[in-house]
């Protein structure tokens, strides 16, 4: 039953994404200065929001693990981190493609871009750390600490365009650089299926983590015989 | 459509393809990992059953 719900949610997310791509290509006008490439923002920004939300979930799960010692929290933390990294990669790559057209370069060491890359690498390091530690409780404890420390970079990434002079555009959802209402609506509409997709990916990954623990228990049993 | 506008559209397509490809790659990773775990669980269960039967 749980699997059917996950598949249904995933299929609904894919349908919504396909519908949104159709609407953004046929129903929304080009942006006056940027042209068609502007539409990348409808994936670039929601991917970043989804990534940060996943990292926040990982933060809460990591704190909960350190408090309770329950492995379910560790499963949630690693699952949310992995999904967050996938959406973070989508954000970074889509931003680079946009930059190639608008700035004429793929990358610049600007505060926002650099801090996002550092954030992504820190969380990638979290996964590397997990592979390096064999003992499950020690692995969970160390990675929880790293996850909590890594989250310190997230607000920095978010506010870097406010705190520093950057090449990256200013916020598009509030303030002086606010987009037109139709563009904002599309951005939020596209965030919904990405959130649904993230929820499905995290749920599937948690299931895998539980089965991996079952596998570890079987291995121990096999060794003890 | 001018050259610049066509290039603009071309890079928009690259952007959309890249986002979908990254997410699809992650889904494929999950699928392959799932199969590997399942295979290992089944093989270990068989080993344990064999040892238990002796």
B46 touching A (Cβ < 8 Å): no
Distance CA B22, CA A202 (A): 16
What are the pLDDT digits (tens) for A76-107? 999 999 999 999 999 999 999 999 999 999 99
Report the run of H or E that residue B20 belongs to, with start and end.
helix B3-53
Distance CA A203, CA A76 (A): 8
Q: Are A38 and B9 in contact (CB under 8 A)?
A: no
Q: Do A43 and B15 touch (CB under 8 A)?
A: yes
Give Cα separations from A159 to A53, A152, A162, A187, A196 (angstroms).
15, 12, 5, 20, 26
Q: How far is A129 from chain B (nearest CA, A)?
A: 19
A39 touching B (Cβ < 8 Å): yes
Domain edges within chain A:
2-224
- What pLDDT does A128 receive? 97
Helix (H, G, I), strand (E, B) or coil at B36: helix
Which chain A residues are within 8 Å of B7, Cβ to Cβ?
A: 101
- What pLDDT does A180 receive? 87
Q: Do A93 and B26 touch (CB under 8 A)?
A: no
Q: Which residue of A has its CA nearest to B16?
A: A40
Q: Which two tokens stand for residue A174?
A: 């509030």
Question: pTM for the full model?
Answer: 0.93
Q: Which of A39, A90, A93 lies closest to B12 in CB terms?
A: A39
Q: Are A63 and A169 in contact (CB under 8 A)?
A: no
* pLDDT over threshold 80, residue A125: yes
Helix (H, G, I), strand (E, B) or coil at A48: helix
Top residue of B4, B10, B26 to mutate, by most chain A CBs within 10 Å, is: B26
Distance CA A73, CA A67 (A): 10
User: Residue A6: CB partners within 8 Å, gap ≥ 6?
Assistant: A200, A203, A204
B37 touching A (Cβ < 8 Å): yes
- What pLDDT does A174 receive? 80
Number of CB atoms found within 10 A of residue A213's CB: 15
| CATH topology (fold) of A2-224 | 1.20.120
What are the pLDDT digits (tens) for A175-201? 777 888 999 999 999 999 999 999 999
- What pLDDT does B1 receive? 66
Q: Which residue of A has its CA nearest to B28?
A: A201
Q: Which of A101, A205, A218 lies closest to B41 in CB terms?
A: A218
Q: Do A36 and B23 touch (CB under 8 A)?
A: no
H runs (alpha helix) in chain A: 2-26, 41-68, 71-102, 111-132, 136-151, 153-163, 181-224
Q: Which of B9, B16, B37 lies closest to A208 in CB terms?
A: B37
Percentage of the residues of chain A whose pLDDT score is greater than 90: 76
Q: Are A147 and A94 in contact (CB under 8 A)?
A: no
Helix (H, G, I), strand (E, B) or coil at A31: strand
Q: Which residue of A has its CA nearest to B29?
A: A205
Helix (H, G, I), strand (E, B) or coil at A151: helix
* pLDDT over threshold 60, residue A112: yes
Q: Which two tokens stand for residue A122?
A: 């820190």
Distance CA A60, CA A144 (A): 10
């Amino acid at each position: 039953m749980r699997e059917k719900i996950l598949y249904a949610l995933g299929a609904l997310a894919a349908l919504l994404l396909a519908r949104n791509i159709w609407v953004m290509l046929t129903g929304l006008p080009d942006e006056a200065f940027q042209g068609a490439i502007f539409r990348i923002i409808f994936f670039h920004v929601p991917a970043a929001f989804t990534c940060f939300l996943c990292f926040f979930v990982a933060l809460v799960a990591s704190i909960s693990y350190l408090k309770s010692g329950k492995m379910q929290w560790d499963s949630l933390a690693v699952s949310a981190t992995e999904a967050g990294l996938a959406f973070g990669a989508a954000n970074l790559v889509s931003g680079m493609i946009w930059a190639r057209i608008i700035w004429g370069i793929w990358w610049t060491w600007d505060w926002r871009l650099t801090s996002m890359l550092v954030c992504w690498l820190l969380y990638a390091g979290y996964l590397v750390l997990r592979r390096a530690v064999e003992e499950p409780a020690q692995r969970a404890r160390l990675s929880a600490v790293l996850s909590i420390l890594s989250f310190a970079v997230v607000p920095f990434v978010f506010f870097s365009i406010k705190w520093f002079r950057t090449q990256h555009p200013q916020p598009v959802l509030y303030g002086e650089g606010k987009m037109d209402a139709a563009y904002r609506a599309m951005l939020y509409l596209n965030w919904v299926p990405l959130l649904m997709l993230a929820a499905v990916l995290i749920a599937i990954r948690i299931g895998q983590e539980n089965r991996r623990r079952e596998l570890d228990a079987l291995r121990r049993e096999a060794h003890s015989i | 459509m001018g050259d610049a506008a066509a290039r603009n559209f071309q890079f928009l397509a690259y952007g959309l393809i890249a986002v979908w490809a990254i997410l699809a790659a992650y889904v494929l990773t999950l699928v392959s990992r799932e199969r590997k775990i399942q295979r290992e669980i089944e093989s270990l269960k068989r080993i344990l059953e064999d040892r238990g039967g002796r």
